[in-house]
Amino acid sequence: MIRFENVSKVYEDGFKAIDNMNLHIKKGELLVLIGPSGCGKTTTMKMINRLIEPTEGKIFIDNKEISKINPVELRRNIGYVIQQIGLLPHMTIGENVALVPKLKKWDEKKYMKRVKELLDLVGLEPNIYINRYPAELSGGQQQRVGVIRALAADPPIILMDEPFSALDPISREQLQDELVRLQEEINKTIVFVTHDMDEALKIADRICIMKEGKIVQLDKPEKILQNPANDFVKNFIGEERLERSNVLPSINDVLVEPMTIEPNQTLKNAVGKMRKYNMDNLIVVDMNGNYLGVVNIWDIEEKFQDNKLLVKDVMKPIPSVNENQNLNEVITLMRKENLSNVPVIKDKGQLKGIITHASVVEKIVC
Amino acid sequence: MEKIIASIKDILVARWPQILDGTLGHIQLTLIALFFAVLIAVPLGIFLTRHRKFADPIIGVTSVFQTIPSLALLGFMIPILGIGKVPAVVALTIYGLLPILRNTYTGIIGVDKGVIEAGVGMGMTSRQILFMIEIPMALSVIMAGVRTASVLIVGVGTLASLIGAGGLGDLIFRGIATATTSLILAGAVPAAILALTFDYVLKSIEFKVTPRGLKK
Ligand SMILES: Nc1ncnc2c1ncn2[C@@H]1O[C@H](COP(=O)(O)OP(=O)(O)OP(=O)(O)O)[C@@H](O)[C@H]1O
Ligand SMILES: [Mg+2]
């Protein structure tokens, strides 16, 4: 959706704020940019709506190079929430929210309806608030208006630069929850800048950790917690959070080596293997190691008399999990489906290992 | 004291037509000069916010105008434009420029950067930024400049009678020439009232045009 290709930004005074950045933001994801002050988060974000022009490299939105798009047009299709909120103090809340739709020449009925919907969405009763002025709202309410103003014209992309940083912890938590809920509902591509690691972990689909104009690590929150790329990331996350996250081991820690069999083997061979290893089931994989299903000793027993049958005829598919899922989800699945073991699959479909009750219990208890 | 009041009363009655005439002439002079001062200073001020390197020199030049004694400035007009209303209006306009220019410039420069960035970021053109954000938000500062200018112009306007522009100065100078205190007052008091009235009226206009959200 948004793609940075070898983008660098050198400010007029010669300071290199962004250093050869490559970044791909996927459609519909909430990407959090985080890093110490001055690492280039705001610069990165403002290059997306051309408030800042890169000195080198290209930025694409939906494969269109943005330097070729009229900046005014471009910005009207990108929601923008800034830290200072930036509501126009001389316009009412309604006028503020309706601003971009008006600039885009929507008709009045349509945008008034939209404004009311949005106010409702963030819990501001339209009848009360629509004709108020920004100065007549609390900080948290203003911040909400700042957020819905960015949503008003229904842009596919929304940029948010530390939108909640000025708020008290309670309003901040509330707004984070609202954002997560909104994101599920409206499914926009959101780029969100923050200083606050807890905030990032809470809302992000992926977190991009930056340092001195470079990306240090870009991954899902749980992945970053499990495998911080280096000491900088570790420090940045903080010991405390790492420990908290380590209460549950990762999937990789509870994997055990699976006993496998190929689909064209005879049932006799299967039983032989089970006996040898003292197992009641085997995972069926093809020649390339792709997961196909499971054969169980009870299924074989029923059909053992039939000589013509092979493993592939009696195997059953059982639910499997992806190696990127977290252990919590896996445990939930095992409980719900009452599974004694779950195959773990790599992204390309190959079997990586299995998780059994025993392997989980052993890790968690120790 | 009583004598003065009595003689003022006499003068008021006797000179009523002249006082009225002088006041109307003065209002006219002030309005025209103020109109041109706004017409020049506001766009110039806006221009300077877009080209800040010119701001200091140009505001500097207008400050210099301001430091020229008003009498001297009016005097300068005679060789260039002769006497009468036109040179008076020109001189008064020049006098009114600085407060309006300076307030327009500082008013717009002082508009919250966050609001402007939000505007640009939402895709407003620079015209829209100017008319929908900067001018409305700087309006009270600009109006304060206009008010200062109006008071200045009313005051200096009394001197304009020296170059034949009429107005309340006529009464004052005739009073000085004939050493009639009451005649001087008959010009000076309406002039003072006029200055206060301009200030008041402009203030109410300012209040009217200020949106509720910006009222303190
Ligand atoms: N207009 C400018 N001219 C020169 N240097 C600049 C300019 N704007 C930003 N910088 C520098 O570029 C670097 C990155 O700035 P940026 O605003 O992107 O940081 P940030 O990561 O958003 O920081 P923060 O968390 O403090 O907001 C900083 O070192 C900053 O000093
Ligand atoms: Mg920043």
Which tens digits make up the pLDDT trace of A34-87?
999 999 999 999 999 999 999 999 999 999 999 999 999 999 999 999 888 889
Residues 6+ apart with CB under 8 A from B204: none
**Mean pLDDT, range B39-62, rounded to an integer:** 93
Cβ–ligand 1 contact at A188 (below 6 Å): no
Alpha carbon of residue A297 to chain centroid: 40
Q: Which residues of A103-137 are buried (b: 16+ CB within 10 A; e: fewer)?
A: beebeeeebbebbbebbebbebebeebbebbbeeb
pTM (predicted TM-score): 0.74
Residue B215 lies in a domain: no
Instruction: Check residues A121 and B93 and name the one with the higher pLDDT.
Output: B93
Query: Distance, CA A41 to ligand 2 centroid (Å)?
Result: 6
pLDDT of A240: 75
**Do A256 and A234 belong to one domain?**
no
Q: Which domain holds residue A344?
A: 251-365
List the single residue in B117, B128, B213 with the smallest CB-CB distance to A82. Answer: B117
What interface predicted TM-score (ipTM) does this complex get? 0.79
Q: Which domain holds residue B195?
A: 2-210
Name the residue with tokens 């508009």: B111
Which tens digits make up the pLDDT trace of B172-187?
898 888 888 888 888 8
Q: At which of A245, A276, A297 does a domain end?
A: A245
Task: Indicate whether B15 pLDDT > 90.
Answer: no
**Do A138 and A275 belong to one domain?**
no
- Provide, as residue numbers in chain A, all residues whose Cβ is less than 8 Å from the Cβ of B113: 84
Our count of domains for chain B comes to 1
Asked whether the beta carbons of residue A80 and residue B128 sit closer than 8 angstroms, the reply is no
Q: Which band of pLDDT confidence, cut at 50, 70 and 90, is reported for residue A135? A: very high
**Do A241 and A256 belong to one domain?**
no
**What is the C-alpha to C-alpha distance for residues B117 and B122, in angstroms, rounded to an integer?**
8
**Mean pLDDT, range B26-30, rounded to an integer:** 92
Q: Which tokens belong to B60?
A: 């500097």
**What is the C-alpha to C-alpha distance for residues B13 and A356, in angstroms, rounded to an integer?**
112
Three-class DSSP category at B211: coil
| B212 contacts chain A (CB < 8 A) | yes
List the single residue in B115, B123, B125 with the smallest CB-CB distance to A88. Answer: B115
Three-class DSSP category at B167: coil
Q: Residue A44 CA: which ligand is closest?
A: 1
**What is the C-alpha to C-alpha distance for residues A32 and A27, in angstroms, rounded to an integer?**
14
The answer to whether A266 and A274 are in contact (CB under 8 A) is no
Our count of domains for chain A comes to 2
Asked whether the beta carbons of residue B123 and residue A92 sit closer than 8 angstroms, the reply is no
Shortest distance, CA B199 to any CA of chain A (angstroms)? 24
**Do A256 and A240 belong to one domain?**
no
Query: Distance, CA A16 to ligand 1 centroid (Å)?
Result: 10
Angle at alpha carbon of residue A268, lines to A265 and A272, rounded to 5°: 100
Rounded to whole angstroms, what are the CA distances from A105 to A78, A97, A244, A357?
Answer: 16, 14, 51, 61
Residue B17 lies in a domain: yes
Nearest atom within ligand 1 for CA of residue A33: 21
Asked whether the beta carbons of residue B121 and residue A82 sit closer than 8 angstroms, the reply is yes
Q: At which of A245, A268, A292 does a domain end?
A: A245
List the single residue in B114, B121, B213 with the smallest CB-CB distance to A91. Answer: B213
**What is the C-alpha to C-alpha distance for residues A215 and A199, in angstroms, rounded to an integer?**
19
Which tens digits make up the pLDDT trace of B125-158?
999 999 999 999 999 999 999 999 999 999 998 8
**Do A285 and A198 belong to one domain?**
no
**Do A89 and A184 belong to one domain?**
yes
**What is the C-alpha to C-alpha distance for residues A354 and A334, in angstroms, rounded to an integer?**
12
Task: Indicate whether A246 pLDDT > 80.
Answer: no
pLDDT of A11: 96
Q: What interhelical angle do A139-151 and A169-186 show, nearest 10?
A: 20
pLDDT of A366: 47
- Provide, as residue numbers in chain A, all residues whose Cβ is less than 8 Å from the Cβ of B116: 86
**Mean pLDDT, range B72-99, rounded to an integer:** 88
**Mean pLDDT, range A200-226, rounded to an integer:** 93
Rounded to whole angstroms, what are the CA distances from A336 to A234, A329, A365?
Answer: 35, 10, 21
- Provide, as residue numbers in chain A, all residues whose Cβ is less than 8 Å from the Cβ of B125: 72
Residue B151 lies in a domain: yes
Helix (H) or strand (E) run with residue B62 in it: helix B55-67
Query: Distance, CA A37 to ligand 2 centroid (Å)?
Result: 7
Q: Which band of pLDDT confidence, cut at 50, 70 and 90, is reported for residue A348? A: confident
**Do A240 and A264 belong to one domain?**
no
**Region at A62 (left for phi over 0; alpha for psi -120 to 50; beta for the rest):** left
Residue B216 lies in a domain: no
**What is the C-alpha to C-alpha distance for residues B185 and B3, in angstroms, rounded to an integer?**
14
pLDDT of B89: 92
Amino acid making up residue B195: A
**Do A191 and A42 belong to one domain?**
yes
Task: Indicate whether A96 pLDDT > 90.
Answer: yes
pLDDT of A309: 83
Instruction: Check residues B73 and A25 and name the one with the higher pLDDT.
Output: A25
Cross-strand partners of A32:
A192, A207
Q: At which of A212, A245, A278 does a domain end?
A: A245
Q: What's the CATH number where A66 sits?
A: 3.40.50.300
Shortest distance, CA A190 to any CA of chain B (angstroms)? 15
**Do A145 and A232 belong to one domain?**
yes
Q: What's the CATH number where B37 sits?
A: 1.10.3720.10
Q: What's the CATH number where A294 sits?
A: 3.10.580.10
The separation between the first and the last C-alpha atoms of chain B, rounded to the nearest angstrom, is 44
- Provide, as residue numbers in chain A, all residues whose Cβ is less than 8 Å from the Cβ of B134: none
pLDDT of A248: 65
Q: Which of A322, A1, A332 has its CA nearest to residue A155? A: A1
Classify residue A190 as exposed, middle or buried by CB count within 10 Å of its CB (0-12, 13-18, 19+). Answer: buried
Cross-strand partners of A294:
A283, A316
Residue B193 lies in a domain: yes
Query: Distance, CA A224 to ligand 2 centroid (Å)?
Result: 22
Amino acid making up residue B61: V
The overall average pLDDT reported for chain A is: 88
Instruction: Check residues A19 and B13 and name the one with the higher pLDDT.
Output: A19
The answer to whether A37 and A161 are in contact (CB under 8 A) is no
